[in-house]
Amino acid sequence: MRFITDSVQSVVLRFGVMYFRKSPTVLPHIPALESTTSLKSIKILLFSVNRQKCDNFIKSNCQFKMVNINGTPRLIKRLLIFPSNDKRFCYEFRRQRRKPNIFYCNGCEKMGIFFRAKMDQNGELQIQDKKHVCKKLQYSTEKYFDIRKIRKPNYEFLENCNTNSRKVLIIFNPKDQSQCYDFRWRSCTKSFCCISCDVEAKIMNISKKNEYVEMLRLTHLCKYRPYNREQFFKFNNFVLADDFEIQTQMIKGKERKTLFIFNENDKTKCYNFQYQPSVKAFICKECSKQKIRVTAKIHQNSDGEKYLLLSKKQHVCEMVKYTPQKDDEIILRQPDFKIMEETCDGVTKLFVFDSQDQNLGYIFPRERKNCNRYICHGCRHFVQRSKKTKEKLNGIVYLSLIKDENGEYFIQMKNQKRSCQPRKYEPQNELEIADSYMSLKMNLKLLTVIFIIKRNHHQNV
């Protein structure tokens, strides 16, 4: 016999397999401990009490009900036993983790006494032949929820699927069996989990006559998705050239490749993949938002035909509407623009002529050094001004300056909305200022040199 401290820091008297928890408010009444002094006799007494307690279950005629209480992240099961016909009062029992047919009265347990109930194989209730030390609880529909059971044909359990765990639970929209929720098996929680959110479900009495699905959350707010049974049993992972398309775009001066894999029967729908150079593969955009990595790699057969090899992972995303490559990319070549390398502030600038009037245009300073992105000066100026004046802003025009294979520069830009007005083309201004800027720079250098010479001179003196 020894005193130990349990996880809630209350003193527990440990003896054999029994635990007596000394609650901060009420002490369990154990006459044996009060009247006996010899350790040997306590042992014997407790042992006999112990044995007796385990065995004295009697059939109960009380009404009872299995309910859920709201726990996070899921619902928790409770057994409610109504001691009389008055359904306003009940005792609340929790389930033993290892033996799900054994229950403990919560109220009694808090006072250091174990009051057990047992559900036998025929679904009949047995309780221990003793009195509760706890008080009855008020039954309320706000605290206790009926268990959400889904019965066939409102669900379907699929095995040997192409998913990671090979098991899928489909829960249909009761009003429309072509729509469903898709639940995947999760071994860590031993439950099925909705692929769009974290609602859990369990199959009870699996492959028995009274099999049903229990939802472990009160509400499920996800949208139903179209049900496609074949999708779970497709094991080939090739996509031929007819069923995919790769688009290349220039974004901020960088090449971006997008892969569209079409629905075989409906080419307006597709999965959307983005190329990732680090893994040399395309990755599904929507799935990666949900931390699932569905990849596609480009291969070529001996005839030079391209095809895709898909990863075994299944999409958790829905197909999206296919949008053909927009024709809003604008390419400009000289003389539609001029490059001004040495300007007043030392920043390389572009002058892009207005497409309507060749005397007008826009100045684009380079965004940063060693960068091929340029921002419209007028738009940027407008943004700064609009912070004060609250004028309506249309957008800022950006463009990229790119060198082609022949070493010739061209401009690539999107069809963008601009906030500014075109200005007159006055290259002299920019360049003249540039000249004076250069001489200013020279003068500054000269002044610095003079200053250093003078300082050294003073120090030497």
Site residues, Zn ion (CB under 5 A): 105, 107-108, 115, 132, 134, 194, 196-197, 199, 222, 284, 286-287, 294, 315, 317, 376, 378-379, 397, 418, 420
Rounded least distance, CB 393 to Zn ion, Å = 11
Query: Residue 378: how many CA atoms within 13 Å on its side-chain side?
Result: 17
Question: 18-21 and 11-15: which strand pairing?
Answer: antiparallel
Residues 73, 74, 77, 78, Cα dihedral to 10°: 50
* CB closer to Zn ion, 287 vs 413: 287
DSSP string of 188-212?
TTTEEEESSS--EEEEESTTSTT-E
Task: Quote the least distance from Cβ 91 to Zn ion, whole Å.
Answer: 5
Which residue lies nearer to Zn ion by CB, 22 or 293?
A: 293
- Closest to 441 (Cα-Cα) out of 370, 343, 348, 339: 343
Minimum CB separation of residue 271 from Zn ion in Å reads: 5
127/294 with CB nearer Zn ion: 294
In one letter, which amino acid is 220?
H
> Measured from the CB atom, is 89 or 145 closer to Zn ion?
89
Q: Cα(152)–Cα(445) distance, rounded to whole angstroms?
A: 87
Which of 199/344 has CB closer to Zn ion?
199
3-state secondary structure of 293: coil
199 class by beta-carbon count within 10 Å (0-12 exposed, 13-18 middle, 19+ buried):
buried
User: Least distance in Å: CB of 378 to Zn ion?
Assistant: 4
Task: Decide whether 87 or 417 has the Cβ nearer to Zn ion.
Answer: 417
* Smallest distance, Zn ion to C-beta of residue 283, A: 9
Q: Please, what is the minimum distance in Å from the beta carbon of residue 140 to Zn ion?
A: 18
DSSP string computed for 362-416 = EEEEBSSTT--EEE-HHHHHHHHHHHHH-PPP----EEEEEE-TTS-EEEEEE--
